[in-house]
Structure 1
Amino acid sequence: MKKLSEEHQLGETLQRFLVILGLSLSCACAAHAQVSEGICGPLRGGHYGPYDYRPDHHKQAAGDQMPHSDKRVLVEGAHFTPRVENLVGAQSGGQMGPPGADLSYTLRAFPNNHRALVSVVRYGEKFKTENPPALQYPVECYFERAIRFAPDDVIVRIIYASYLTNKNRHDEAVAQLKISTTLAKDNPFTQYNIGLAYFDLKEYSLALEQAHRAASLGFERSELSDKLKSVGQWQDLSDAPEAASAPAVASSSAAD
């Protein structure tokens, strides 16, 4: 029951992120520069961190007595308050100026802070630029840094796929979702949300595979199947041989 509860919380949180991104972003289709470590900077070099945002992936350094939860409270209490998350303004420096510096600090300490990544995307959209005020690196760099730091973080990749979708970078978004499918393994909620992301990309056959994969793992929501039915793309499992084999393929890929 504990594992199921954790998976449910993960799936619900991820779905909330996708809704936020979908409502907040308009298409920004200008040419984009390729991000890289050279552009996006080293992960280390700050005075605090970097730490994994996920408690179950945090590696406690020798001599470090501070619990992971306290690290998050310390950073978010000083730099990622509701004021910063909602892009009202800065938290540090007497709450003067824009929130860019506090967002940068938060994502230096926890490169894969999921909520902060969503806020950075919204911050760039607010100013209609990849380089909004006081942000240390271009918006997309924070995804490059998060993936470099935690390549197995499926939520980072799905948020990134939504960002790429809204930039009309279809193939790159699909590539991130395919990686996410393997990383999600037997988490039905995340597999289901990947299906919703595929639907937004109009990749209906892949969305169908995900719908059946999530169902095979015990996920019973009908939103994705209803969406596929609305565009004439739904097939029952018995009529969709590729979808029927998808769960086994996913398990095999994860094992490999």
Structure 2
Amino acid sequence: MSHIIITPVLRLLFYTGLLLQATFFTNALQASEFCDPNLASRVGPRDYFDDKHHKAGRIGIVERIHLTPEMLRLEKGNTASISDDLNYTLTVIPNHPAGLDLASRLDRAIKDFPERYRREKLTRTVDCYFQRAFWYTPSQPYLHYIFAIHLHRNQAYQQAAEAYSQAQRLGLNNAELAYNYGLTLFELKRYDEARKMADNAKALNYPFDGLQQKLAKKGF
């Protein structure tokens, strides 16, 4: 098994200093589309990674109504379409990791299964949703991790590798990141580096070995 894995999102409570990241985002995000930088709204923004916003209850309310398990399975929306409920979620909580990942997966599903998802239309592009998240909390490592998965999903492997590396520089280091980073490095034919990531994932008790099997077939 070697596909990209993302487990239920944990509330990460670590922070780092702000970094100048304009060059990376200019390269990784589409620059041709206008993306509204105004995050203020009647109901937000709320920071998913700030515990006080969870304690206030608003994030939980939004998740229960506008980010349901059926939505995460790409089955149906709750109050409207998946895309409309998702847009509400990412308007209130621009940096919601599961919401951003859903935007990426829904966009892919609309392209791959146009008849099944013919009623779905994202209010903003996926790149815009990520751009707004980075404007809000640019140094949150888990956002870079989710962005890397999005880039890999769309075969932008070099940019995905840069995003994984940025997540690591910002302090994220776990088995899931190592494994998925290794998959991207494999696609780039950087097999020695992919092997190191596979070994890191194994040392951290990652349960899947598809990456190791792919590397073994290449003699690594």
2 CA distance for matches of 1:192 and 1:87?
25
Aligned Cα root-mean-square deviation (Å):
3.4
TM-score after normalising by structure 1: 0.61
2 CA distance for matches of 1:112 and 1:157?
11
Do 2:107 and 2:122's aligned partners in 1 also have CA atoms closer than 8 Å? no
Residue 169, structure 1, aligned to residue 156, structure 2: yes
The 3 A distance-change label for structure 1 pair 161 and 189 is closer
Gap regions ≥5 residues in structure 2:
8-27, 113-118
Of residues 30, 38, 42, the one that matches 2:37 is 42
2 CA distance for matches of 1:104 and 1:110?
10
Do 1:198 and 1:204's aligned partners in 2 also have CA atoms closer than 8 Å? yes
The structure with higher relative contact order (CA 8 Å, sep 6+) is 2
1 CA distance for matches of 2:104 and 2:125?
10
SS of the residue aligned with 1:128?
helix
> Alpha-carbon deviation of 1:75?
0.6
Do 2:139 and 2:170's aligned partners in 1 also have CA atoms closer than 8 Å? yes
The 3 A distance-change label for structure 1 pair 90 and 176 is same
2 CA distance for matches of 1:214 and 1:88?
32
Gap regions ≥5 residues in structure 1:
1-13, 18-31, 234-256
Residue 128, structure 1, aligned to residue 128, structure 2: no
Larger Rg: 1
SS of the residue aligned with 2:5?
helix
**Letter of the structure 1 residue corresponding to residue 204 of structure 2:** F
Do 1:158 and 1:194's aligned partners in 2 also have CA atoms closer than 8 Å? no
SS of the residue aligned with 1:48?
coil
1 CA distance for matches of 2:197 and 2:70?
37
Structure ranking higher in helix proportion: 1
Counterpart residue number, 1:16: 6
Q: Percent sequence identity over matched residues?
A: 28
Count of matched residue positions in the alignment of Structure 1 and Structure 2: 191
2 CA distance for matches of 1:188 and 1:81?
27
2 CA distance for matches of 1:230 and 1:49?
50
**Letter of the structure 1 residue corresponding to residue 92 of structure 2:** A
**Letter of the structure 2 residue corresponding to residue 106 of structure 1:** T
1 CA distance for matches of 2:185 and 2:41?
37
Do 2:70 and 2:76's aligned partners in 1 also have CA atoms closer than 8 Å? yes
User: After superposition, what is the alpha-carbon deviation per residue over 1:91-113, rounded to whole angstroms, capped at 9, x for unaligned?
Assistant: 22xx4xx2211101101122222
The 3 A distance-change label for structure 1 pair 106 and 185 is closer
SS of the residue aligned with 1:46?
coil
Of residues 76, 84, 89, the one that matches 1:101 is 84
Residue 143, structure 1, aligned to residue 93, structure 2: no
Do 2:37 and 2:135's aligned partners in 1 also have CA atoms closer than 8 Å? no
SS of the residue aligned with 2:155?
coil
Of residues 42, 49, 67, the one that matches 2:55 is 67
2 CA distance for matches of 1:118 and 1:103?
11
> Alpha-carbon deviation of 1:41?
1.2
TM-score after normalising by structure 2: 0.69
Runs of 4+ in 1 over 6 A off after TM superposition: none
1 CA distance for matches of 2:179 and 2:166?
14
Do 1:103 and 1:116's aligned partners in 2 also have CA atoms closer than 8 Å? yes
1 CA distance for matches of 2:29 and 2:198?
34
